[in-house]
Structure 1
Amino acid sequence: MCTEHRSFNRRRLLQGLGRTVAAAALAPAVLPIRVAEAHVQTAYEELAPGRPERVGVCSERLEDVFARVQRRVNDGLFPGAVALIARKGKIIGHRAFGSRVRGADEPVTLDTLFDLLSITKVLATATSAMILVQDGVLRMNDRVADFIPEFAANGKQAITVCDMLRYTAGLPMDSQFLDDPDDESVWRRMAESPLEYATGTQVLYSDLTYRLLGRVIEVATGMDLDAFAKARIWGPLGMRDTTFNPSAALISRTAATGYSDLRGRVVRGEVQDDQDYALGGIAGCDGAFSTARDIAVFCQMILNGGRYGGVRVLSRNAAAAMVSNQTPVVTAEETDVSPMSNLLKTPKGYGFELATHRFSNGGSRLSKGSYGKAGGTGCFLWIDRRRELIGVILTNHGLPTPFDDIGWNRMLDAVGNAEFFDGIVNSIVDE
């Protein structure tokens, strides 16, 4: 649980900045947070190719999983995809499908980068925040207004970093200010947004919350989120293809998503969300691009309890906290009533979504305690910790239009993410 508030301290900030710039080794920390048992059976130091049968998976059933992805591409439900499946430290399936650009002869390859949209929340923002807690630069009950003074408007002065990490701050799902060309004015208007519900009384998945949490991280470190994530997460893990704002050299390897009316073009190598693009493409809610292989490395690090390839990114306690239920104020029984309600209102960890029985975008067959993340362009990752199983499917379906219950349902039906993850579990034969 969150502990008592501790005020922002300039000396603590400067000390933390020194550690950040030096990228010092992380020491295990006892965090003031709700933590479930980690359930790390074995830490597999590095992912390596392996045969499905060696890790209790049926090759024939796995081929069926991939065939179903190919069928959806053939039917034109989305242009292309990369899917990766790993178990017990072995990559047992890694396939590319379709085209990087709809209607073009540009085959997707295994190293294709995809616009991850909200997977950014775990791949960059929540993990960065937990690292800063370990460093002592942030504390879970630091007030957001101590870093963003305008945030105190409309009775929000007591909202904490912890509230934002677990989606209980009370802010609306999003606020778009595309009519305002002044970035600082947009940030101020977002910070001043009134609450939609009383802080801590319910869960509401919110891009606005995580956009502002990314801003807190940038103020606390003096670095933009891209630079910090590369220094403390992606670089140490060898995730060399993970970045905000892909460089010109990477565009040819990047999958295009949908058409932007605001930009008047098909979006490729730019975050599809128009507000995040207008703010420069680096935001706490969206903007990261990556490959299935890099994401699998990140997933294995979390599954390993914060460690991968001889590098400790998070303490075991911090990694367990991110994927534990941090929102006991709500229950799945009350909130798991539709796919959109599942995304917005069911129990959450820090950044992560938690598996539920009925409408989880990870399907209905994952073990209790599984966790994952959806990205609105049609990208999904899920980790079944009991089975030591990782599934990643990245597509360039693009944002649903409109982004409402029906649009979200249609995107899920097109991508077939539940079928994909259910099929992976069905391929396991050693249970």
Structure 2
Amino acid sequence: MNRRHLLQGLGRAAAMAAVAPAVLTTRVAEAHVTACEELLPGHPESVGLSADRVEDVFSRVQRRVSDGLFPGAVALIARRGRIVGHRAFGTRVRGEDEPVTLDTLFDVLSITKVVATATAALVLVQDGVLRLNDRVADFVPGFAGSGKNAVTVRDMLRYTAGLPIDVHFLGEPGCDDPWRRMAEEPLEYTPGAQVLYSDLTYRLLGQVVEVAAGVDLDTFAKARIWGPLGMRDTTYNPSAALIPRTAATGYSEIRGRVVRGEVQDEQDYALGGIVGCDGVFSTARDLAIFCQMLLNGGRYGGVRVLSRQLAAAMVSNQTPEVRAEDTDVSPMANLLLTPKGYGWELATRRFSTGGMRLARDAYGKAGGAGTFVWIDRRRELFGVLLTNHGLPTPLDEIGWNRMLDAVGTAEFFDGIVNAVVDE
């Protein structure tokens, strides 16, 4: 019996109950651990921030909404365990009189990679059910041959698996098994030789997690990540009861309607919405809990989700063979090619979506519909900016640049750092 079949039998029991942590073979920097166990409201001055500058950050988000650059947003700023600002702007649906509220859910698209898939994989490593050096071919049928036999879970986590950015199966003649079509996609480069940000990689990594866990990503994440942390509004495929609280993104020509409560990416929607690269919906408050958990070294509210070592590994540079100086040459190149953690993007000096003022060991994640989180662990500071801008049309380098300019993510995070007055 090979490892994949064995884990299908063990997954349901072992993945849902913690056992002895696995030993990491990589050396990582120790994550800063704050003393704040839970997020509480606070005043900016109490944590070394200027109240006027925090207000300026929010005013700039409001201006962009008022100028029609996107319909609505929720923004949150926290430092040292205190939420110093949490504001809602605009409308949930473009052109409708339906105001965004603080508990509005947003399609976070690629933030799924960290709040679901990468964290789930590391929980399974911690449980001893999965290993970083396990071969992907042992879990995903069809993922073998053509140099892919040696691709590991760690390769996928750090975007060095050799796979292309994506493979488009919608509308392909005879594509009756899209998962096999994706698994059989040939490599574009030698695994481990470079970084290439890839939705395809994380879709297949999601399959690895599901095989190892014996349940789908939504079920596993709710049982082992979101539920224990109290992230009660974080989910794949929001229920009918949650749709009125969910922000709409763009119009889908394929579906013939405005997308609301469904993942905007057409391929992930066709796959049922529960996938490793996209599909999660969440609120700013829930994402703030997730950010604080990482600042706390893997625990929050008395619950440990990740060991301190795994939490540190997740947000450390896992691609030291790649130099930011060589790859941080444009906003799109920054997303695709610069050094990465396990799922996370790392701060760089030029074209980071977190701006230019974050500490060099900061980390964050961008979602293609206009959602962003960045964490500055040295300053114990983070921000969450969720908008319903929607995926750029077309989704190319020019479209990506226009979306970033419209949302003003660099301005938002630069403004947060500018509000720090105690250093």
Name the TM-score class by shorter chain.
Answer: over 0.9
Structure 2 counterpart of 1:39, one-letter code: H
Q: How does 1:18-417 map to 2 (within 5 A)?
A: 18-20=13-15, 23-25=16-18, 27-40=20-33, 42-179=34-171, 185-417=177-409
Q: List per-residue Cα deviations over 1:128-185 (Å, max 9, x = no partner).
A: 0000011111111111000113010433111110100000001010112112599861
The residue type paired with residue 386 of structure 2 is: L
- Distance verdict in 2 for CA 1:180–1:231, change over 3 Å: farther
User: Counterpart of 2:88 in 1: which secondary structure?
Assistant: strand
Task: For 1:267 and 1:424, locate their aligned partners in 2 and report how far apart those are by CA, in whole Å.
Answer: 31
2:121 aligned partner, one-letter code: A
Does the aligned pair in 2 maintain the 1:138–1:220 contact within 8 Å? Answer: yes
Q: Is the 8 A contact 2:195 2:339 kept in 1?
A: yes
Contact 2:315–2:344, Cα closer than 8 Å, also in 1: yes
Offset, 1:17: 3.2
Aligned partner of 1:209: which letter? Answer: T
Kindly indicate whether residue 12 of structure 2 is the aligned counterpart of residue 17 of structure 1.
Answer: yes
Q: Output the CA distance in 2 between the equivalents of 1:26 and 1:427.
A: 43
Does the Cα contact within 8 Å between 1:332 and 1:347 map onto a contact in 2? yes
Deviation of the 1:9 alpha carbon: 6.7
Deviation at 1:386, TM superposition (A): 0.3
Question: Can you give the 5+ residue segments of structure 1 that lack an aligned partner in the other structure?
Answer: 1-6
Return the letter of the residue paired with 1:62. V
Distance in 2 (alpha carbons) for counterparts of 1:426 and 1:121: 29
Please give the secondary structure, in 2, of the residue aligned with 1:236.
helix
| Structure 1 residues 15 and 32: alpha-carbon distance in aligned structure 2, compared to 1, 3 A threshold | farther
The residue type paired with residue 378 of structure 2 is: R
Contact 2:21 2:128 in 1 (8 A): no
Once residues 61 and 175 of structure 2 are traced to their aligned partners in structure 1, the CA distance between those partners, rounded to angstroms, is 40
Residue identity opposite 2:401 in structure 1 = N
Q: Does structure 2 conserve the Cα–Cα contact (< 8 Å) formed by 1:16 and 1:136?
A: no
Partners in 2 of 1:412 and 1:11 — Cα distance? 45
CA distance in 2, matches of 1:393, 1:334: 28
Quick one: structure 1 residues 363 and 182, their matched pair in 2 at CA, closer, same or farther if it must change by over 3 Å? same
Q: Which amino acid aligns with 2:194?
A: Q
User: Which amino acid in the other structure matches residue 38 of structure 1?
Assistant: A
Quickly say closer, same or farther: Cα 1:256–1:194, change in 2 above 3 A.
Answer: same
Aligned pair count?
A: 422
Counterpart position of 1:3: none
Distance 1:17 1:34, change over 3 A: farther
- Aligned 8 A contact 1:13 1:137 in 2: no
- TM-score relative to the length of structure 1: 0.95
Distance 2:58 2:173 in 1: 44
In structure 2, the residue corresponding to 1:369 is in which secondary structure?
Answer: coil
Which 5+ residue runs of structure 2 have no aligned equivalent? none
Contact 1:180–1:186, Cα closer than 8 Å, also in 2: no
Q: Is residue 22–residue 131 contact of structure 2 (8 Å, CA) maintained in 1?
A: no
Post-superposition offset of 1:24? 2.5
Name the CA distance, whole Å, in 2 between partners of 1:265 and 1:12. Answer: 41
Shift of 1:287: 0.1
Change (3 A) 1:184 1:138: farther
Deviation for aligned residue 1:25:
4.2
Backbone CA RMSD of aligned residues: 1.5
Supply the distance in 2 between the matched residues of 1:420 and 1:221 (Cα, whole angstroms): 38
Task: Verify the 8 A CA contact 2:21 2:125 in the aligned structure 1.
Answer: no
Sequence identity percentage: 76
TM-score by length of 2: 0.97
